[in-house]
Amino acid sequence: MRFKGLDLNLLVVLDALMRERKVTAAARSINLSQPAMSAAVARLRAYFNDELFTMNGRELILTPRADGLAPAVRDALLHIQLSIISPDAFNPAQSDRLFRIMLSDYITLVFFRKIVERAAREAPAVRFECLPICDDPEELLRRGDVDFLIMPEVFMSKHPRAALFEDKLVGVGCGTNKQLSEPLTFERYLCMGHVVLKFRHTRQPTMEEWYLLEHGFERRIEVVVQGFSLIPPVLSGTSRIGTMPLRLAQHFAKTTPLRIVQLPPPLPPPAFTEAVQWPELHNSDPASMWMREMMLQEASRLAPLPEIIERLGHADPTFRFLVPTATSKSRAKSRKMLSPT
Q: How confident is the model at residue 244 (pLDDT cuts 50, 70, 90)?
A: very high
Q: What is the pLDDT of residues 309-323, one digit of tens each?
A: 888 876 665 565 433
Task: Indicate whether 293 pLDDT > 70.
Answer: yes
- Look at residue 331 in the predicted model and tell me its pLDDT: 36
Q: What is the pLDDT of residues 156-194, one digit of tens each?
A: 888 899 999 999 999 999 999 988 988 889 999 999 999
Residue 240: burial class (beta carbons within 10 Å; 0-12, 13-18, 19+): buried
Nearest to 145 by CA among 212, 78, 227: 78
CA–CA distance from 60 to each of 9, 23, 31, 55 (Å)? 20, 8, 19, 5
Q: How confident is the model at residue 335 (pLDDT cuts 50, 70, 90)?
A: very low
Q: Which domains does the chain have, with CATH numbers?
A: 2-85 (1.10.10.10), 98-166+272-338 (3.40.190.10), 169-261 (3.40.190.10)
**Strand pairing class (193-197; 220-225):** parallel
Cβ 106 vs Cβ 243: under 8 Å: no
3-state secondary structure of 113: helix
**Total-model pTM:** 0.73
Say how far apart CA 75 and CA 69 lie, in whole Å: 10
Say how far apart CA 264 and CA 259 lie, in whole Å: 15
Say how far apart CA 311 and CA 161 lie, in whole Å: 30
Q: How confident is the model at residue 341 (pLDDT cuts 50, 70, 90)?
A: very low
b/e per residue 258-267 (b: at least 16 CB within 10 A): bbbbbbbeeb
